Each structure stands twice: as C-alpha cells, then as structure tokens.
Chain A
C-alpha cells in the first residue's frame, strides 16, 4: 500500500510506455526495478542518497527541477549497462576519490545508443565514463570538478574503447583531463568548453578518425594532448591561455595525418608542439601572442603550413633539426620585413621564421636567460641578413604582405 502510494504509475497515451514518478521518499533504484523496457522514469526534485543505481533496462530517466543524486563521497552514482538508455536533467554530486577503482558519477559499460544530456555533475571523481560503449550522445552537461590535486582528480568525460560517440556543448572544468579518449573511433567532439582543468583540456590516445570542431580549450594547466593517433581533424577550435613552463596549446605526439583548420592559438607558451607528428596539414589557423607559435621537433615530417597568420609571437617557428621536410607557404608573418614590388600581395623574398636564437635555445636551454638581450637581437639580425646556421629548407617562399582574413 505504502509503495503504491509513493510510486504513482500513470499510463501514457502510448499504452505500452509507462511513466513512473519518483519522489524523495522512495528511491530511483526501486523505480527501475519496477520498470519495463521503454518506460519513462520521472524523478521529482529532492535529494536521493541511495546505493549505486544500476540501470539495466532500456529506460528514460528524466529529472524534473534538478533532483540531486548524492554519492555521499563514497561510491559511484549510476551505472548503465542496458542499451538505449537516456539520462536527462539530474544533478550528480559527491562521488569521492578512489585510488582503487575509477569511480564515476555516471558510468556506461558495454552499452549502445545512450543519451546523456543536460545534467550537472559536481564534485565527482570521474564525471561521465564510457567503457566499450557505442553510438552514444553526451550533450550539454556541465561538469565541475573539485579541482583538487592532479592525482586525486579524475577525468570529466572519459571514453575507453568506444565508437561513434557524439559529444556536444558540454562545459567541463576542475577535472584532471576535461575530455579523455583512449581507443575511441569515429567520434565527434563539437562546441564543448573545457577550461581550468588540472592536466589537459582534451587528451586522446589511439583514437583514430575523430573530429573536433569549435571547442574552446582554455587555461588548462597543460593544454591539449594528442598521442599515437591517426587521421585527426580539428576545425575552428580555440586553444587559449595555456601559459606555464610546461604548457602548450596543442601537443601532437606520434600522430599521422592531422588536419588543423581555422583554429585559434592564442597566448600559449607553445601554440603547437609537434613531436613525431607526420603529415600535418595546417591551414587558415591563427597563432597570436604565443611564446613559440609552432615548435617542430625532429622527426616531424611532411607537414604543410599554408595560409596561417603568425602575429605577435616571441618565436614563430622553432625546430631542433637542420633539415626539414615541412613546407611553409602563403602564411602571414608579422616579423616579415620583405617587400612586394609587383604589388600582388605576396612578398618577393622568402621568410625564414626560425631565428638563430631559437635554434641556440633548442640545443642549450639555459641560454634563454639572454632573452631580449641586445646581443641576441644583433645576432638574429646578422643571421637574418646572411643566413648560415638556421635551416634554409624551412622557409616561406610566398609570405603574405597582409594578414589573411
């Protein structure tokens, strides 16, 4: 009698699809136990501090007026193991750090077709954790970490061995890595904001054929890292304000076939750091006010940098390699001092973006103590007039006279 009074079962027009309403005097778990595949479970406002909720049926969980699921800093909050589950409108709170297991506010294991949208996740160890999932949508969630130490924090959105996941419009901050991919295929990351995370804003490894569009990665302590991956497309992203002695906007390490288009690299210690990155195609990007705009370390080959803007960087391009198979063409360099006699908008003399000082610094880092010294300016000027030490191959033979739009 009491249970039936608490759990009011309503028959919807669909007939077979029931809606079950849950109030704080009951539990979500009990509702799931009662539900059939295809049912909608509507959770009323209030705080639900119950043991881990296992969603093992194809249900739609909808929070009305932000009900709070509290993990009491002791356990995982929700585990989804069924296909086609939807979770919407909840506040997940207090997961608690564990050094033994990867506890998450919401974990999806071996399931497909899930939709996780419009949730708020606060003070979680891991936020949303997908393991062996596919065809899921993770949209418009706000994940706010406690911002403790790097070791005591988990990742905001963590994907492992998952395929075709669509991640859009989430805001993540204060976690270890904002978005973390390992063995993920053919997924899309669109319009997310990942900022003030303790390690990387976005970190992915062994994740081929993924697209990253219009995201903002800002003020993460190490920036964005891409490792051991093939065929990456990054378009219209902002890599901003990753400023610190070990920070970079975007790190590409052991990657193949990266397309970078219309991205903004603003105010990073190193805008783009490529280490063993092959066949980078970078077009229409803007590198503005970075320490180093682009650092190409040895074994970064066959990159093409075309039609990018380099404005106000301390060093435009640095490399530790005399030979280079990377091509620079048609970029705008604010440090370019050439002329354009035929007024076709393209400078008549090549631009060598690698300064002698940046080469010296690559081989002997402590000499950075001479940054902005008069002697260094003279040395650079002399090298620019008669280049002998800087790599001749790494030159833009068609530098633009005006910034590209």
Chain B
C-alpha cells in the first residue's frame, strides 16, 4: 500500500503539472454553470450534463490515459528496475490517473451545483447518480486506456484504437442496438434490450440516469418495463453490479498485461 501511495504521489504531481487536469475541471465548471444559468431548473441542467458526461468522460479518459501511459514509459521502466512489485507499481500508476480525473470531474460539476443550490431535494440523488456514473466511466475508460497502451507498442496505433473504442461505445453501439431492434421488431424486446444496455457502460449509465429523471414516463411501455426491472432491488443491484464490474474489468485486464509484459 505504501508503495502504491508513493508512486501515486509522483503521478499526481505529474498530472497536476501538465495542467490537463485543471483544464478538465474548468471545462466541467463552465459547462455546468452555463447549463444551470441558461436552463433555469437543476433537473434540466442534469439532463443536459448527462450527454456531456457520457461523451466527454470516456473520450478524455481513454485518450488522456493512453497518452499518459506512453509518456510515462521511461518512468515506468526506471521504477521497474527498483525493488517494487509490479502490482504495486500498476496500482500507483492507474490510481494516480483515475483518481485525479474523477476528482476533477466531481469538483467541476459539484462546485457550480453547490453554489447555485437545488430547487428540489430529489435532484441531490440524481446528481449523486450522475457523479457516480461519471466516476465509474472514468475508472473504466482509464483502465481501457492502460490495457490498450500496454498491448500496442506503437503510439499512433494505440491512440487510434483508443478513439475507435470510444466511438464504438458512445456512438456505434447504439446504432447496432437500433438495428437489432428494427430487425427483431416482432419479438418482445424489452428484456434483451436491458441486457444489451448492461453490456455497454455508457448506455447503462444513460439508462440509469433517465430512470432517475422523470423523462422515463416518455418511454411508455418500454419505460414501464425498465422501471419494473430497475425498480426492484434485484434489478438495481444487477445494474450497480454491472457498473462496478465495468469499472473493475478493464483495469484488471490491464494489470494482467502489466504483470506479464516484457518491457
């Protein structure tokens, strides 16, 4: 643990020094503040933020993460020459990036809300959900970035793969779902669709958030079946479990790779 903390400390100073994080936090402050000012109600602001969170967090996490691993290559090799376990080193490197990114996001969204206040206490819970989803996506996509950068030696290839993964999860996957829905329109699709949503953290986050906001009433029968699924403690547990799994799986895959990689 102590080793992880030590590596994290160096990482942290590196991340902060690069000023990326400050820009990232400022970005969320400006967007959130703007939405709160111009949309009038905090529920609307949360809905607007949802799209930003679902697009920007995966993109920044995966691209910034990939670049970070490539840039930290020499530092990593240097540390590997020291008597440090690979698990500890990976833990330090990964958390040293994922935690500041999460904090930057949480602060960027949280501060404007704290200043403006809520017009309905229900929205505290919604905001908590939004923050939770953002943090999970950060951990997940930073993990993806590590896994990619450790697998692909070529920087350009790694970056291309990172962007491709972002494109698939945030955009193309939904197109596929739409296509499947149209192809199998004659069948009861509610359950399979829920399963498909669980297989993509971005979609899962979006659906969980929509259920919190009252737009779910728009979804008619689909919404009702979603609510009846996620409304039960079992369904909610499954959804939260899936989200946590999505936060844990990519970094674990990256850790496996890190443990075996011949630098």
Contacts and interface: CB of A to CB of B under 8 A. Distances in A.
Do A and B form a real pair? yes
A378 B210 CA distance: 19
Interface string B196-234: 010000010011001000110111111110100000000
A5 interface: no
Residue with the greatest number of chain A CB neighbours at <10 A, chosen from B174, B197, B218, B223 = B218
A369 B54 CA distance: 15
Contact of B171 (A364, A368, A374): A374
Contacts of A376: 174, 178
B172 A375 contact: yes
B50 A375 contact: no
Nearest to B48: A372
A243 interface: yes
A365 interface: yes
A291 interface: yes
Nearest to B186: A364
Contacts of B223: 245, 368
A263 interface: no
B218 A370 contact: no
A378 B171 contact: yes
A368 B216 CA distance: 10
Interface residues of B, number: 35
B206 A373 contact: yes
Given A364-B185, A369-B226, A374 B54 contact: yes
Nearest to B179: A367
A367 B203 CA distance: 13
A269 interface: yes
Contacts of B54: 374
A365 B221 contact: yes
Interface in B35-60: 47, 50-51, 54-55
Contacts of A378: 171
Chain A, interface size category, equals 20 to 34
A366 interface: yes
B215 A291 contact: yes
Interface in B128-179: 170-175, 177-178
Given A291-B218, A366-B190, A378-B171, A373 B203 contact: yes
A214 B61 CA distance: 54
B193 interface: yes
Given A366-B222, A374-B55, A374-B174, A243 B214 contact: yes
B56 to A, nearest CB: 11
A327 to B, nearest CB: 27
Contacts of B1: none
Contact of B219 (A364, A371, A373): A371
Interface string A282-314: 000000000110000000000000000000001
B206 to A, nearest CB: 6
Nearest to A243: B217
Nearest to B196: A369
A222 to B, nearest CB: 13
Contact of A368 (B50, B197, B218): B218
A244 interface: yes
Contacts of A374: 51, 54-55, 170-171, 174
A365 B51 CA distance: 22
Interface string B175-192: 101100110010001100
A262 B214 CA distance: 27
Residue with the greatest number of chain A CB neighbours at <10 A, chosen from B177, B182, B219 = B219
Nearest to A269: B217
A291 B215 CA distance: 7
B210 A371 contact: yes
B217 A291 contact: yes
Contacts of A244: 217
B222 A314 contact: no
A292 B215 CA distance: 11
Interface string A355-390: 000001001111111111111111100000000000
Nearest to A270: B218
B210 A372 contact: yes
B171 A369 contact: no
A35 B173 CA distance: 81
Given A363-B185, A372-B51, A375-B172, A245 B214 contact: no
Contacts of B170: 374-375
B134 to A, nearest CB: 16
A123 B220 CA distance: 32
A375 to B, nearest CB: 4
A207 B231 CA distance: 42
Contacts of B172: 375
A365 B171 contact: no
Nearest to A314: B218
B98 to A, nearest CB: 23
Contact of A367 (B171, B182, B226): B182
B221 A375 contact: no
A152 to B, nearest CB: 23
Given A246-B220, A365-B222, 10 more contacts: A243-B214, A365-B220, A365-B221, A366-B181, A366-B190, A370-B174, A373-B203, A374-B51, A374-B170, A376-B178
17 contacts: A243-B217, A244-B217, A245-B219, A245-B223, A291-B217, A314-B215, A314-B218, A363-B185, A368-B220, A369-B219, A372-B206, A374-B51, A374-B55, A374-B170, A374-B174, A375-B171, A375-B172
Interface of A: 243-247, 269, 291-292, 314, 360, 363-379
Give the top 3 A-B pairs by smallest Cβ distance, nearest first. Answer: A375-B174, A291-B218, A366-B189
